[in-house]
Chain A
Amino acid sequence: NAGVTQTPKFRVLKTGQSMTLLCAQDMNHEYMYWYRQDPGMGLRLIHYSVGEGTTAKGEVPDGYNVSRLKKQNFLLGLESAAPSQTSVYFCASSYDRTGGGYTFGSGTRLTVV
């Protein structure tokens, strides 16, 4: 089925460990995004990409890095995890710049202890 796939779905990290979250889309979308969502809060934009080889910072980029080496993949990295990064991470992609074209993944629940 077409869509956005995130891996892993769950992960527990110790403080200071690193990890990479993978987002893959098969819709040939140019634009991809990483959001985080904390309990009772809305989605906050971490980083985004307007095409292969490009990345840009969102609202809350500190402590995260991203890469878009292939059009279909958008990787989110945590170099040294902190408890404040405990959250649910959502990846999304879109085919244009309007508000109606977002497809979200099912999320990655990350706990940093």
Chain B
Amino acid sequence: LAKTTQPISMDSYEGQEVNITCSHNNIATNDYITWYQQFPSQGPRFIIQGYKTKVTNEVASLFIPADRKSSTLSLPRVSLSDTAVYYCLVGDPWASGTYKYIFGTGTRLKVLA
């Protein structure tokens, strides 16, 4: 299970593009990179998952460089409702033989008017 490092918090203004970078230097060959979003008083919800290069869906884009030691979640034109905590998860939670998923503290994004 790869250790991940994300910024603790970020502020942005409405309408701006927000990029949140996650470092995962010891990512394994078969590891996927997954991002979750958690609004206040709610459980996390899946945003996007990727393995390499670029993945895009209706909510976000995920950029993964060739060495895969980091990844960047990109949120286009954020609004106040994008204020949330964003978690970067990397790896196989079952790699050790038992389940182990570390959500960490995530990145707290605050969107300002």
Contacts and interface: CB of A to CB of B under 8 A. Distances in A.
A30 B85 CA distance: 27
A46 to B, nearest CB: 12
A102 B42 contact: no
Contacts of A31: 99
A45 B100 contact: yes
Contacts, number: 66
B46 A107 contact: no
Contacts of A2: none
B34 A106 contact: no
Interface in A5-31: 31
- Chain A interface residue bracket vs B: 20 to 34
A74 interface: no
A43 B44 contact: yes
Interface of A: 4, 31, 33, 35, 40-43, 45, 48, 50, 56, 58-59, 88, 90-92, 97-107, 109
Contact of A99 (B32, B41, B98, B104): B32
B105 A40 contact: yes
B44 A48 contact: no
B101 to A, nearest CB: 7
A100 B36 CA distance: 9
Interface in B16-75: 32, 34, 36, 41-46, 49
B102 interface: yes
A107 B43 contact: yes
A35 B101 CA distance: 10
B46 A100 contact: yes
Contacts of A88: 41
B37 to A, nearest CB: 11
B92 A90 contact: no
A104 B45 contact: yes
Contacts of A107: 41-43
Given A35-B103, A56-B98, 15 more contacts: A4-B43, A48-B99, A50-B99, A58-B100, A88-B41, A97-B92, A97-B94, A98-B32, A99-B90, A99-B91, A101-B46, A102-B44, A102-B46, A103-B46, A107-B43
